[in-house]
C-alpha cells in the first residue's frame, strides 16, 4: 500500500505555552484507509491534523518543532501549505472562517483558481465538487444564506475542487445540528464509497460514527498517541475509552457490561442485534419525578418575527414547571433559540404573553427578568471580558450592588460548585474552551437564577467535559432550579432531561417525557433527529425504550 502521510516522532510546542502540544507522535496513513483520531479536548488532535497538512510548522510561530512529516514521500518542512494542500487538505471545525467568498460557486472556484487552471476546467471542477456534496443548483447562492450543514459541505467541496488524495476532517460535524451532521456523514460515505479520495482522516467525538466509518482508530491523550489499532478492536475496549473521558459506542457499552461477545465486542447496532442473547427479564424503569407544582414559566400563543411576516415562532404554547429539567430539541432555524430569547426578554414577542412565576413578565425587559432567569450562550467568548476569572464572576454581583464581602463569598461558592476554584486568578482568555464555558456558566449561576436556559452549552466539548458541565447543572436542578437546555446531543437529553420538547418550523411538534418522546422514533426521524442507539436496541430486544446504556444494563437481564 502506498503511504500517503507519514508522521515521525513529531514534537510541537506553541509559542508561549508551557508544555508541548505533541510529544513524539508517529502515525502513518496509507492509501485506501479511513483513520479516526479521538481524544479529550486539548489533547493535540487538531495539532496533529495541522501537522499532517503542513500548517505546522509552516504557518504560525512555534517555540519548537521536531520530527519529520512526509506527504507522498515529500517532506512538508518549509514547503508552501498551498502546495501541500493539493494532495492533503483539511476541513476545519468552524465552517464560518473557512468560507470567505460571497457565493457558493466562487467559494469552490477559489482553489482551482490558485492552481492556475483555465476557466473551463475551473467551471468543470466546481460542478463536479458541488455535485459530490449535494449542492448542485445552489451555485449563485450567497454562502451566508446557507444552513450550517450546507456551509460545512461547501467547505468540503471547496477543498475537493483541488482534487486532493487525502482529506482530513477536524471535528467537521461538531458545530452542526443533527441534520447538518447527517448531511456531512452522508458526504463522507460517498467520498469513501466512490473513492473520490484515497484516504480519509477524521476527528470526531461520536464514537458510534467512528465505528461506522473508520478502519483504524488512534487515541491522542496529552500530546501522545495512547492506543492505536483496528477501529472495532479499540472501540470494544470500553473501560479504557471511558477512563479517557470518551464515550464508547452505546452498543459496545451495553454489550461489554452484559458480557455479550461475538468474536469481539459488537460496536454496531446490526452486529449487536445478530448476536444479542435472549432477554430473561425486564424491569420497568421508575418514572422519574418530573416536576413541582408551581409553574415557573409559561409562554402562551407566542408569535415572533425578526422582520415583516416572516414568523419564526408561530403560536407557541409551553408551560414549564418548577424543578423541571427540560430539553429543547430541533434543527437550527426551528425557533429554539428565538423561543429562549423571548423567554429571557432579549426579544419582544409580536403577540402572546410570557409568564414567569405567575406574573405577567411580557412588558419586563431583560434586566428585570434576569432576576429570575439566567441565560448561558453557546459561545463563552460572547460573554467573557474580564482579566481574571474572579472579576468575571464578580461582575454581575457588583452590578446588583452586593457588598464586596458578599461578592467574595458568592464567587467562592459558585466557583466551588462549577469546579473552577483553582482558576480564579487566571486570565480567562487563555483557558481551554471547556473551562471558559464553565466560567460563563458560573458567572450566570452567581446571580442565583431560579430558571436557567442553556443554549447549546456542550458544543465543542468532549463527552467528559459535557458530563462534568451537565452534572453541575443537574445538581442545581436537584436543588430546585428549573433548567431548559437547548441541545443537539441526544445522549445528553437521554441522560439528563426528564422532558423533551421538539420544535420544527416555529411550532412545538412533540412535547413529552423523554422516554415517551424517544419512543416516537418515526416522528423524530421525520425531523432528522436520531435517538441514541440504546433506545433502538432496547426496543428491538426488550420491547420498551430504555434511555442510557446504564439504564439498559440495570433493567435488562439476559440469558
Partner 1 sequence: MSRYVLYAEGKSFFHSLDPRSKIALVVCVFVWSSVFNHPLYTGTVLGAVLALVLISGVASRLKLFWFGLVSLATMSLILWPLFRRGGENVLFEAMGIVFTQESVMYGLAVAFRLVAMVLSGLLLLTTTRIEDLELALTRLGMPYSMAFGISAVFRFIPAMVGDGLTILAAQRARGVNVVSGNVFSRMKNSAAIIVPLFITTMRRFGELPLAIESRGFVPMARRSYLLELRFRARDVVFTATVLFLAALSIYMRLNGYGVVFPHVI
Return residues touching partner 1 (CB under 8 A): 50, 53, 55, 59-60, 80-83, 85-86, 89-90, 92, 94, 96-98, 100-103, 105-106, 109-119, 122-123, 126, 142, 144-145, 158-159, 162, 341, 344, 346, 366-367, 370, 374-375, 377, 379, 381-385, 395-396, 399-400, 429, 443-444, 447
Whether residue 233 contacts residue 201, with contact meaning beta carbons closer than 8 Å, is answered with: no
Nearer to partner 1, 269 or 328 (CB): 328
Nearer to partner 1, 443 or 459 (CB): 443
Q: How far apart are CA 143 and CA 151, in angstroms?
A: 7
Q: How far is CA 397 from CA 377, 443, 479, in A?
A: 19, 9, 21
Task: Give the bridge partners for 12, in sequence order.
Answer: 22, 65
Nearer to partner 1, 55 or 325 (CB): 55
Whether residue 180 contacts residue 437, with contact meaning beta carbons closer than 8 Å, is answered with: no
Nearer to partner 1, 92 or 207 (CB): 92
Nearer to partner 1, 342 or 546 (CB): 342
Least distance CB 440 / partner 1 (angstroms):
9
Nearer to partner 1, 123 or 550 (CB): 123
Least distance CB 126 / partner 1 (angstroms):
7
Nearer to partner 1, 114 or 317 (CB): 114
Q: Is 43 helix (H, G, I), strand (E, B) or coil?
A: coil
Least distance CB 84 / partner 1 (angstroms):
9
Q: Is 209 helix (H, G, I), strand (E, B) or coil?
A: helix
Nearer to partner 1, 370 or 497 (CB): 370
Phi-psi region of 222 (alpha: psi -120 to 50; beta: other; left: phi over 0): left
Q: How far apart are CA 179 and CA 250, in angstroms?
A: 21
Element (H, E) at 223: none
Q: Is 336 helix (H, G, I), strand (E, B) or coil?
A: helix
Least distance CB 91 / partner 1 (angstroms):
9
Residue 554 burial (CB count, 10 A): 13
Least distance CB 118 / partner 1 (angstroms):
6
Q: How far apart are CA 446 and CA 503, in angstroms?
A: 30
Q: C-alpha grid cell for residue 512?
A: 413529552
Least distance CB 259 / partner 1 (angstroms):
46
Element (H, E) at 436: helix 433-445
Nearest 5°: the CA angle 364, 501, 548 is: 130
Least distance CB 93 / partner 1 (angstroms):
9
Task: Give the bridge partners for 25, in sequence order.
Answer: 10
Q: C-alpha grid cell for residue 537?
A: 436496541
- Alpha helices by DSSP H, listed for 279-403, are 336-344, 366-369, 389-399
Whether residue 132 contacts residue 187, with contact meaning beta carbons closer than 8 Å, is answered with: yes
Nearer to partner 1, 374 or 549 (CB): 374
Amino acid at each position: 500500500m502506498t503511504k500517503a502521510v507519514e508522521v515521525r516522532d513529531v514534537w510541537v510546542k506553541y509559542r508561549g505555552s508551557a508544555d508541548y502540544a505533541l510529544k513524539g507522535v508517529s502515525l502513518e496513513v496509507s492509501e485506501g484507509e479511513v483513520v479516526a483520531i479521538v481524544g479529550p479536548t486539548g489533547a493535540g488532535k487538531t495539532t496533529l491534523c495541522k501537522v499532517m497538512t503542513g500548517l505546522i510548522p509552516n504557518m504560525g510561530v512555534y517555540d519548537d518543532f521536531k520530527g519529520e512529516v512526509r506527504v507522498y514521500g515529500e517532506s512538508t518542512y518549509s514547503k508552501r501549505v498551498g502546495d501541500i494542500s493539493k494532495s492533503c487538505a483539511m476541513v476545519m471545525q468552524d465552517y464560518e472562517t473557512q468560507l470567505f467568498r460571497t457565493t457558493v460557486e466562487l467559494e469552490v472556484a477559489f482553489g482551482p483558481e490558485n492552481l492556475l487552471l483555465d476557466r473551463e476546467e475551473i467551471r468543470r471542477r466546481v460542478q463536479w465538487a458541488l455535485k459530490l456534496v449535494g449542492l448542485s443548483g445552489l451555485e449563485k447562492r450567497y454562502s451566508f444564506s446557507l444552513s450550517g450543514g450546507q456551509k460545512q459541505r461547501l467547505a468540503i467541496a471547496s477543498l475537493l475542487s483541488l482534487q486532493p488524495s487525502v482529506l482530513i476532517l477536524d471535528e467537521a460535524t461538531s458545530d452542526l445540528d443533527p441534520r447538518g451532521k447527517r448531511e456531512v456523514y452522508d458526504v463522507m460515505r460517498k467520498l469513501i464509497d466512490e473513492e473520490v479520495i484515497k484516504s480519509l482522516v477524521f476527528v470526531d467525538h461520536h464514537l458510534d460514527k467512528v465505528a461506522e466509518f473508520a478502519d483504524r482508530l488512534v487515541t491522542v491523550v496529552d500530546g501522545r498517541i495512547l492506543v492505536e489499532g483496528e477501529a472495532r478492536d479499540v472501540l470494544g475496549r470500553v473501560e479504557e475509552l471511558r477512563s479517557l473521558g470518551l464515550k464508547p459506542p452505546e452498543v459496545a457499552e451495553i454489550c461489554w457490561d452484559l458480557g455479550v461477545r461475538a468474536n469481539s465486542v459488537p460496536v454496531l447496532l446490526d452486529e449487536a442485534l445478530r448476536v444479542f442473547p435472549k432477554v430473561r427479564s425486564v424491569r420497568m424503569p421508575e418514572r422519574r419525578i418530573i416536576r413541582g407544582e408551581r409553574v415557573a414559566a409559561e409562554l402562551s400563543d407566542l408569535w415572533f418575527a425578526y422582520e415583516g411576516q416572516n414568523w419564526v415562532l408561530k403560536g407557541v404554547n409551553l408551560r414549564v414547571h418548577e424543578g423541571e429539567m427540560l430539553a429543547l430539541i430541533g434543527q437550527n432555524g426551528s425557533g429554539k433559540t428565538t423561543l429562549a430569547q423571548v423567554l429571557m426578554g432579549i426579544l419582544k414577542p409580536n403577540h402572546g404573553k410570557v409568564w414567569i412565576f405567575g406574573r405577567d413578565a411580557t412588558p419586563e425587559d431583560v434586566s428585570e427578568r434576569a432576576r429570575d432567569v439566567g441565560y448561558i450562550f453557546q459561545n463563552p467568548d460572547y460573554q467573557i471580558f474580564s482579566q481574571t476569572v474572579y472579576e468575571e464572576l464578580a461582575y454581575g454581583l457588583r452590578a446588583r450592588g452586593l457588598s464586596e464581602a458578599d461578592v467574595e463569598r458568592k464567587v467562592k461558592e459558585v466557583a466551588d460548585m462549577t469546579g473552577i476554584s483553582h482558576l480564579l486568578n487566571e486570565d480567562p482568555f487563555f483557558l481551554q474552551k471547556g473551562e471558559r464555558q464553565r466560567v460563563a456558566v458560573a458567572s450566570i449561576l452567581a446571580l442565583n437564577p431560579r430558571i436557567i436556559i442553556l443554549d447549546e452549552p456542550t458544543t465543542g466539548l468532549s463527552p467528559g467535559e459535557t458530563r462534568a458541565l451537565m452534572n453541575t447543572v443537574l445538581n442545581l436542578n436537584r436543588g430546585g432550579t428549573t433548567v431548559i437546555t437547548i441541545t443537539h446531543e441526544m445522549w445528553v437529553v437521554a441522560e439528563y432531561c426528564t422532558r423533551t420538547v421538539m420544535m420544527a418550523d416555529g411550532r412545538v411538534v412533540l412535547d413529552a417525557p423523554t422516554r415517551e418522546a424517544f419512543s416516537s422514533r418515526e416522528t423524530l426521524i421525520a425531523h432528522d433527529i436520531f435517538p441514541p442507539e440504546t433506545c433502538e436496541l432496547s426496543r428491538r430486544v426488550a420491547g420498551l425504550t430504555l434511555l442510557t446504556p446504564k439504564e439498559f444494563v440495570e433493567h435488562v437481564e439476559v440469558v
